[in-house]
Structure 1
Amino acid sequence: MVESGMAEVMIAVMPFQGHVAPMAAVARAFVEAGHGVRVYTGSAHADRFTAVGAQALRWTSAPDFDEHDLAATFPMLRGRKGPRQMLANVEHVFVRTAAAQSDDLVRAFDERPWDVVVADGLSLGAHLASERTRTPWVTVSIVPLAIPSRDLPPPMLGLAPATGALGRLRDRALRAVARAGAYGIRRAYIAERARAGLPANGRSFDEAWYSSDLVCATGVAELEFARSDLATHVVFVGELTRATAGGAALPTWWDEVAASAEPVVHVTQGTLNVDPHDLIEPTFAALGRQPVLVVAATGRADDPSLPFPAPPNARVAGLLPYGALLPRVDVMVTNGGWGGVLAALAAGIPLIVAGGDLDKPGVAARVAWSGAGVNLRSGRPSARTVLRGWRRVSTDAAYRVNAARIAERLAEHHGPAEVVEHTLRLLATRQPPAAATAE
């Protein structure tokens, strides 16, 4: 630990809204504790971090991009959905930008060395920069853990672990298939290490996203599949962002929600893949004639309009203030964004999860495994599937009981403060390298 007791902290954040909000809370916690904080992220989100008192550093060598139009910067993503999109996103947005990210970070280190880099778990460039500067690296896993395990199927398939000898054989075979399917991504990772001037380090690509010193995992153990090989340096920290009265403005029709005598069902399309045909449209078709008030968030604050009509019992906004909304919600229909799922569960709301790609099928599987909701097993469910899910969650009290149980566990944590506490403990016990200078 530095002699003054105050640390120089570099926070690395992939420039997506779903990553920025929780990491802004972490940055604020470090600033409020008196530490020097710089944040490396895309230009669209820099103001979010300066607002909490941190110094923002923008992607420069790494290609800055608009999360709502990834294909403008990464044309190879155009027209892809499902598994093909997931693989292409991981390879081109997260992996093939890693060396350039690390170049930006190393320049910042040369200008003013940091004591520790605290990184969004999908910021692979921070991992490379940590190696290049020989400084500690803390992973903040803002999506469910995808650390490989001998007890689990591949994380992106959205499967709960199987049981029995045949089930374990299934999972072992799926792990082998997943490794083969990710061959191109592994090659890209090796190439990025070479571009950053780094040799092989003995860690597999699946392990490369996670620090070997400290992983602060969002969520609670009740939402994590049981495994026998979870490392002791993985700690659960609950939520990083709690629903408050601030945030998005209340829409003009808010009084109808506040006065509604009918149960309120919230449907959210998330903030990344925001095609409303995927989830909002089938939810409208499923619940348009049910005795509920449907409140939809399109994920686009700049344009909340829809390309199809809303039923009479639906209200639509781009974004909504969860501190005001969630206490009034009976059931939530979600695309599986982890932050929104945790916010709903913290409010004791049972879930209907339509996880289509990236980490979202895994989120859906965890929610179902915990008993706090149902997994629709598709990012584009039919109206009939949504209706069946709503009826199950609305009529079986066990879902609400389990959501309340998880809410109690989440309430025991104060995520951002715990990230600071665990990070400082790591620095206090770690011996600095002989020469902490960039290579």
Structure 2
Amino acid sequence: MTAGESTTDAAGATNTTTPRTYLFTLTDAGGTVPPELGVVRRLVDRGHRVTVLAEQSMADQVRPTGAAYLSGDFGGPGELRDWELRSPTSMARGMADHMMSGPAPGQARETASAIDAIHPDLVVASAMGIGGMIAAEARGVPFDALIPNVYPLPVPGSPPFGMGLAPSHGSLGRLRDRVVSAGATGMIDRYALAPINAVRRDYGLDAIEHSWDQLRGARRQLILTSAAFDFVGELPQNARYVGPILDDPAWAADQAWIAPAGDSPLVLVAMSSTFQNHVDCLQRISDALGSLPVRGLVTTGPAIDPDQIQAPANVSVVVSAPHSEAMRQADLVVTHGGHGTVIKTLAAGLPLVILHHGRDQADNAVRVTTRGAGVAVSRRASAEKIARAVADVLGDPAYRRAAEELGEAVARDAASSALLDELEGVTGRATPR
């Protein structure tokens, strides 16, 4: 395609923007992959030249987007087994070693090589892709960061990330936020800051004061959610809510599924696509649905074999089903609270029962419960308690009404042009350092 030529994307929108070259440097963090590759697909559909540098585990998901694929071997200690971590300190060290500073040297090396080969107009990195950001900064290429969840950096007016806290009020509440945020930042810095600065030094860059400053240095922080869903604080000037990506993962696209027969309410169970030691939790959910006059559709995802779940007669257990299809028939979703599942459920106008396991899931749960769009119960709750929560939400139409109201704003933001407007607004490269 020549510069200035018009194209039509998959949604039927006409693009007259000059084709640009984008390099995505992405990390395999499970639920973040489908929305990030949804961004890739949208740029490809609009005629841009897009290359994705990602781990080999993502290859089969990258190729259907139409982007060029570069296999990355970033190194680092491998899988973060966060369900085994029992303290905030161990969680901070795990995040640093496995997601931030650990892979950074390999990410930086391979991103720098890719930049030298394809000369991108913009590098787009996963939020934890610190090394890719460093390489872009060193090469003088602007970089954006993808944040496919609620806003994680500490800012005035937003509760600290990862704690499942509601917004604070008054001077004591503001003090709570400052103290907790400072403590969390300090724990991350203890393990991540020195290794990050070592990589920056290797690429001729000055040291940063806090680990999060690398992300703060992005041209744009693209928040892939709805401001109506998040607890919005005083965002920095380069942060933008650009709406959620509602795409199903590539591995679920062609899966056949059949809901149990009958006309009783359909409850979709959608837990983590990565292993979070949740087999027993899935079994208790299945047992709970077996005690109710409902039909259950349990999707285990690629991390768990459906044969590990003993299903009651009114419950079907499958590896996956495209949630965009299943949610059109469902009345309620039971989930671990991952952002992708929660936001798609709300966009479908459905209430939720959330058994959050960790990561950002408690934050997503409190945003649902505060708006009255569902309830949260412990991941260790008994089948009886889970059954009561499901029955309560199905039996009270107020939950459905609240989910529909919030979902209208979520769906509207998902359909907006804000994401592409920001990505296509890049103006050019800086002077290489």
Query: Structure 1-normalised TM-score?
Result: 0.85
Evaluate the alpha carbon distance shift between residue 302 and residue 373 of structure 1 in structure 2; reply closer, same or farther with a 3 A threshold.
Answer: closer
1:7-406 to structure 2, matched below 5 A, reads 7-62=20-75, 70=79, 79-80=84-85, 83=88, 86-95=91-100, 96-182=102-188, 183-202=190-209, 204-227=210-233, 229-242=234-247, 247-251=253-257, 254=258, 256-257=259-260, 259-300=261-302, 303-306=305-308, 308-376=309-377, 378-406=378-406
Preserved contact between residue 333 and residue 351 of structure 2 (Cα < 8 Å): yes
- The alignment of Structure 1 onto Structure 2 pairs a total of residues equal to 416
Per the alignment, in what secondary structure is the counterpart of residue 305 of structure 2?
coil
Identity of aligned pairs, percent?
Answer: 27
Preserved contact between residue 244 and residue 322 of structure 1 (Cα < 8 Å): no
The residue type equivalent to 2:149 in the other structure is V
Preserved contact between residue 12 and residue 41 of structure 1 (Cα < 8 Å): yes
Deviation at 1:317, TM superposition (A): 0.9
- Measured in 1, the distance between the counterparts of 2:339 and 2:148 equals 8
Q: Which moved more, 1:12-21 or 1:114-123?
A: 12-21
Unaligned runs of 5+ residues in structure 2 are 5-17
Preserved contact between residue 102 and residue 128 of structure 1 (Cα < 8 Å): yes
Deviation readout 1:173-227 (Å, 9 max, x if unpaired):
322332343322344433443455432145x323433454212212211111142
Q: Which moved more, 1:178-187 or 1:125-134?
A: 178-187
The residue type equivalent to 2:168 in the other structure is A
Evaluate the alpha carbon distance shift between residue 381 and residue 85 of structure 1 in structure 2; reply closer, same or farther with a 3 A threshold.
Answer: farther
Evaluate the alpha carbon distance shift between residue 155 and residue 98 of structure 1 in structure 2; reply closer, same or farther with a 3 A threshold.
Answer: same
The residue type equivalent to 1:405 in the other structure is E
Deviation at 1:243, TM superposition (A): 5.5
Q: Which moved more, 1:14-23 or 1:381-390?
A: 381-390
Deviation at 1:350, TM superposition (A): 0.6
Evaluate the alpha carbon distance shift between residue 176 and residue 274 of structure 1 in structure 2; reply closer, same or farther with a 3 A threshold.
Answer: closer
The residue type equivalent to 2:314 in the other structure is N
Preserved contact between residue 148 and residue 207 of structure 1 (Cα < 8 Å): no
Deviation at 1:301, TM superposition (A): 7.0
Preserved contact between residue 53 and residue 111 of structure 2 (Cα < 8 Å): yes
1:412 is aligned to 412
Preserved contact between residue 76 and residue 103 of structure 2 (Cα < 8 Å): yes
Preserved contact between residue 119 and residue 139 of structure 1 (Cα < 8 Å): yes
Deviation at 1:261, TM superposition (A): 1.2
Deviation at 1:417, TM superposition (A): 5.3
The residue type equivalent to 2:72 in the other structure is W
Preserved contact between residue 76 and residue 98 of structure 2 (Cα < 8 Å): no
- Measured in 2, the distance between the counterparts of 1:127 and 1:420 equals 20
Per the alignment, in what secondary structure is the counterpart of residue 331 of structure 2?
strand
1:6 is aligned to 19
Deviation readout 1:40-89 (Å, 9 max, x if unpaired):
11112223323322111111353596xxxx27xxxx87944675664344
Query: Structure 2-normalised TM-score?
Result: 0.86
Evaluate the alpha carbon distance shift between residue 381 and residue 126 of structure 1 in structure 2; reply closer, same or farther with a 3 A threshold.
Answer: farther
- Measured in 1, the distance between the counterparts of 2:27 and 2:103 equals 11
Evaluate the alpha carbon distance shift between residue 113 and residue 416 of structure 1 in structure 2; reply closer, same or farther with a 3 A threshold.
Answer: farther
Preserved contact between residue 157 and residue 361 of structure 1 (Cα < 8 Å): yes
- Measured in 1, the distance between the counterparts of 2:23 and 2:132 equals 9
Preserved contact between residue 146 and residue 221 of structure 2 (Cα < 8 Å): yes
- Measured in 2, the distance between the counterparts of 1:388 and 1:196 equals 56
